Chain A
Amino acid sequence: MEAQEDLQLDLNEESLLEMYGLIVLSRRLDERTWVLHRQGKIAFHVSGIGHEAAQVGAAMALRRGQDWVVPYYRDLAMMLALGLTPKEFMLGVMGKKGEPSSGARQMPSHWSIRRMNVVSHSSPVATQAPHASGIGLAIKMRGDDAIVLTSIGEGATSQGAWYEAVNWAAIHKLPVVFMVENNLYAISVRQDRQMAVEHVADKAAGLGLPGVTVDGLDALAVHRAIAEAAARARAGDGPTLVEVMVQRMTPHSSDDDDRSYRPRAELEALKAQDPVRLQRDKLKDMGLLSERAETEVQERAAAQVEEAIKFAASAPYPEVSEASYPVYAGDRVDG
């Protein structure tokens, strides 16, 4: 029975509902942020609509708070699953004082949550991959019990830094899971113009580690694949490349207009495969999601989003003096 299989993955009914709740929360939060942008209330938004199931499925396969995560800017759902609150996200979106990732110094969605071992990352893509391998190296050197999950878009796997990071991890059998969220588009460049292989996972063989491709619209499939890769890493068997096929249902960011390169029909077709709906239908089939439960999930998400927006909208901006530090370790930090 499918439910039995899923329970073997340490996913009980509560976890499955938690998973669904996080996916819905991410979607609602993401959609409202687009509206805020189109209303001219915020300057920038980079969206994860279409990626939610994969990200939540992956995050819940980790020992949250113990394992390390080196994400990229599209990982809103993953961050929510790791403990980022909608209020914290909104502070970042609006550039308000006290924004936890950077004190409003970075653009939104440049995650850094120290308490959850989520490492700060920048805008140049793939620079985070060597950091993930370095953390894996240090974990091994210290003999600690932890693994590293790092995520990236398929386009950024063209960067030299990504290859170098995977190479290091493979050579030294570092406890790293390299997750690639393949949504077929690097801004406007399709995968066939980004690489000669059919799947990103095919690159793995050339670097000496196993690679798998997984349906990223199925949270449970991703959960299974990441859990297996994490187990390998914990056992000292080294890194795995897990490619999750997702879909980017919006332009690359609020600065992008995809009408020049993305056929409308293609976007319409994606709606039929919306991972939120797929997950809902799956849970309904499993008898875990009644109409009332569904309504509760939606209402709870809506309320959290509204609360977050109100909270952030009335929060103050940082003092201009805060911009001049902390340049060096040991400089004063925000109060």
Chain B
Amino acid sequence: MAEITLIEALRQGMDEELERDERVFIVGEDVGQRGGVFRATEGLFEKYGEARVIDSPLAEDSIVGIGIGTALYGMRPICEIQFADFIYPAFNQIVSEAARMCYRSAGEWTVPMVIRVPYGGGIGGGLYHSQSVEAFFTHVPGLKVVVPSTPYDAKGLIKSSVRDPGPVIFLEPKRGYRLIRGEVPEDEEVLVPIGPARISRTGTDLSVFAYGMMHHYCLEAAEMAAQEGINAEVIDLRTLKPVDRETILASVAKTGRALIVHEDNLTGGYGAEIAAILAEEAFGDLDAPVRRLAGPDVPAMPYSHPFESWFMLDADRIAKAIRELAAF
């Protein structure tokens, strides 16, 4: 078993899929010779050639649009949008086209495509290299939205996403690319199904739901709270759409208290959907109001260091929210 970084796990996953299925290819800005600005595709250009690791022109709309076209013909594109902040020109192709193709053709045409999107802040990226965009896409019928937080899940989920018959928005917490290390087995195929959440820490006093970098901070915060006698259950959602309602509801039935944590802006953020599900379906299990802890409602995130610290949630703030919720 090797301990590798999140980004190495992604690279391995893509490498294995390109090897396994000749229909799989990668397209995006700088993915080829440069190996990706984060080096997510390092070495793949040399191994598979420019026909399968394609440097695209600087036009996100066409990265996805062309990708859709190849998928209609039977290929399995992995489209990279360099930063989530730059996904908006491709919004039309993702939402009007990829998401709706199957429904509008009564199932005749499908788009088996992965759109990889590095997202999130804490890297000194300022307003246009730090955004979270999951809320826009979890809203759209026809898309799946996936966010791994560990190297094992990153590898397992990128492989599952490539094999999925429809479009998958694959969000990568870029702050964790090299920061997050984890064990990934070398001698067996790692496949994590899209859909199920993972209980990363069992507990009894409250349920903490998170994904991406926040999941790691929640685990740290749970340990801090444990020293004060608060036993928090922490759940890594992993798939935001379709979300694992069963695990979420079972956890809150057990603990009676829910804290949803995400880096994205609070209002209209993904946490609102989980909170609504709990309000509608777990009402009789709630011992305290459902609480969301999220980024402030300002563009994510301002550049200056104190601004960034103010914006980004950390283990201390999450621990404080855990304490408050436990004390209700």
Judged by a CB distance under 8 angstroms, whether A101 is at the interface is yes
Judged by a CB distance under 8 angstroms, whether A120 is at the interface is yes
B70 engages A171 (CB within 8 Å): no
Indicate which residue in A110, A131, A164, A167 contacts B72 across the interface (CB closer than 8 Å): A131
Choose, from B102-110, B181-189, B299-307, the stretch at the interface: B102-110
Judged by a CB distance under 8 angstroms, whether A327 is at the interface is yes
Judged by a CB distance under 8 angstroms, whether A141 is at the interface is yes
Which of A129, A134, A333 counts the most B-chain CB atoms under 10 A from its CB? A134
Q: A119's closest neighbor in chain B, by CB?
A: B72
How far is it, in angstroms, between the C-alpha of A327 and the C-alpha of B110 when the chains are bound? 10
Judged by a CB distance under 8 angstroms, whether B208 is at the interface is no
Q: What sequence of 0s and 1s flags, for each residue 95-132 of chain B, a beta carbon within 8 Å of any chain A beta carbon?
A: 01100111111111111100000000000000000000
Judged by a CB distance under 8 angstroms, whether A130 is at the interface is yes
In chain A between 106 and 144, which residues have their CB closer than 8 angstroms to a CB of chain B?
106, 110, 112, 114, 119-120, 122-124, 127, 129-139, 141-142
In chain A between 130 and 171, which residues have their CB closer than 8 angstroms to a CB of chain B?
130-139, 141-142, 160-161, 164-165, 167-168, 171
How far is it, in angstroms, between the C-alpha of A2 and the C-alpha of B180 when the chains are bound? 73
Judged by a CB distance under 8 angstroms, whether B74 is at the interface is yes
A110 engages B104 (CB within 8 Å): yes
Name the A residues within 8 Å of B66 (CB-CB).
130-131, 133-134, 137, 165, 168
How far is it, in angstroms, between the C-alpha of A61 and the C-alpha of B64 when the chains are bound? 30
Q: A150's closest neighbor in chain B, by CB?
A: B69
Judged by a CB distance under 8 angstroms, whether B165 is at the interface is yes
Indicate which residue in B72, B89, B166 contacts A329 across the interface (CB closer than 8 Å): B166
A124 engages B103 (CB within 8 Å): no
Q: A102-B105, A103-B106, A122-B97 are in contact. Are A161 and B61 (CB under 8 A)?
A: yes
B57 engages A102 (CB within 8 Å): no
Name the A residues within 8 Å of B309 (CB-CB).
none
Name the B residues within 8 Å of A130 (CB-CB).
61-62, 64-66, 68-69, 93
Q: A131-B72, A135-B73, A171-B57 are in contact. Are A326 and B65 (CB under 8 A)?
A: no
* Minimum Cβ distance to chain A for residue B220 (Å): 36
Judged by a CB distance under 8 angstroms, whether B71 is at the interface is yes
Which of B59, B74, B96 counts the most A-chain CB atoms under 10 A from its CB? B59
B51 engages A124 (CB within 8 Å): no
* Minimum Cβ distance to chain B for residue A319 (Å): 13
A102 engages B93 (CB within 8 Å): no
A134 engages B93 (CB within 8 Å): no
Q: A112-B105, A134-B71 are in contact. Are A167 and B62 (CB under 8 A)?
A: yes
Judged by a CB distance under 8 angstroms, whether B32 is at the interface is no
Name the A residues within 8 Å of B61 (CB-CB).
130, 160-161, 164
A127 engages B92 (CB within 8 Å): yes
Which of B56, B92, B142, B165 counts the most A-chain CB atoms under 10 A from its CB? B92
Q: A110-B104, A327-B103 are in contact. Are A135 and B72 (CB under 8 A)?
A: yes
Judged by a CB distance under 8 angstroms, whether B35 is at the interface is no
Q: A139's closest neighbor in chain B, by CB?
A: B73
A138 engages B69 (CB within 8 Å): yes
In chain B between 55 and 90, which residues have their CB closer than 8 angstroms to a CB of chain A?
56-57, 59, 61-62, 64-75, 89
In chain A between 306 and 326, which residues have their CB closer than 8 angstroms to a CB of chain B?
325-326
How far is it, in angstroms, between the C-alpha of A137 and the C-alpha of B50 when the chains are bound? 13
A133 engages B69 (CB within 8 Å): yes
* Minimum Cβ distance to chain A for residue B212 (Å): 24
Name the A residues within 8 Å of B72 (CB-CB).
119, 131, 134-135
In chain B between 135 and 159, which residues have their CB closer than 8 angstroms to a CB of chain A?
141-142, 144
How far is it, in angstroms, between the C-alpha of A136 and the C-alpha of B66 when the chains are bound? 9
* Minimum Cβ distance to chain A for residue B61 (Å): 5
Q: What sequence of 0s and 1s flags, for each residue 16-45 of chain B, a beta carbon within 8 Å of any chain A beta carbon?
A: 000000000100000000000000000000
* Minimum Cβ distance to chain A for residue B90 (Å): 10
B57 engages A161 (CB within 8 Å): no
Name the A residues within 8 Å of B106 (CB-CB).
101-103, 105, 326, 333-334
Indicate which residue in B62, B105, B166 contacts A328 across the interface (CB closer than 8 Å): B166
A167 engages B25 (CB within 8 Å): no
How far is it, in angstroms, between the C-alpha of A164 and the C-alpha of B29 when the chains are bound? 14
Name the B residues within 8 Å of A134 (CB-CB).
65-73
A327 engages B142 (CB within 8 Å): yes
* Minimum Cβ distance to chain B for residue A29 (Å): 22
* Minimum Cβ distance to chain A for residue B156 (Å): 20
Indicate which residue in A122, A135, A141, A161 contacts B51 across the interface (CB closer than 8 Å): A141
Indicate which residue in A102, A103, A165 contacts B65 across the interface (CB closer than 8 Å): A165
Q: A141's closest neighbor in chain B, by CB?
A: B51
Indicate which residue in A114, A171, A325 contacts B108 across the interface (CB closer than 8 Å): A114
A161 engages B108 (CB within 8 Å): no
Q: A131-B68, A131-B69 are in contact. Are A122 and B96 (CB under 8 A)?
A: yes
Q: A119-B72, A160-B89 are in contact. Are A131 and B102 (CB under 8 A)?
A: no
Name the B residues within 8 Å of A165 (CB-CB).
62, 65-66
A333 engages B69 (CB within 8 Å): no
* Minimum Cβ distance to chain B for residue A20 (Å): 31
Judged by a CB distance under 8 angstroms, whether A291 is at the interface is no
How far is it, in angstroms, between the C-alpha of A123 and the C-alpha of B92 when the chains are bound? 11
Judged by a CB distance under 8 angstroms, whether A285 is at the interface is no
Q: A141-B51, A164-B57 are in contact. Are A329 and B102 (CB under 8 A)?
A: yes
Q: 3 tightest CB-CB pairs across the interface, nearest first?
A: A134-B69, A130-B65, A164-B62
| A–B complex contacts, Cβ < 8 Å, 25 sampled | A68-B73, A102-B105, A105-B103, A112-B108, A119-B72, A120-B101, A123-B96, A124-B96, A127-B97, A133-B62, A133-B65, A133-B66, A134-B72, A138-B70, A141-B51, A141-B52, A142-B74, A167-B57, A325-B103, A327-B103, A327-B142, A328-B102, A329-B102, A329-B112, A329-B165
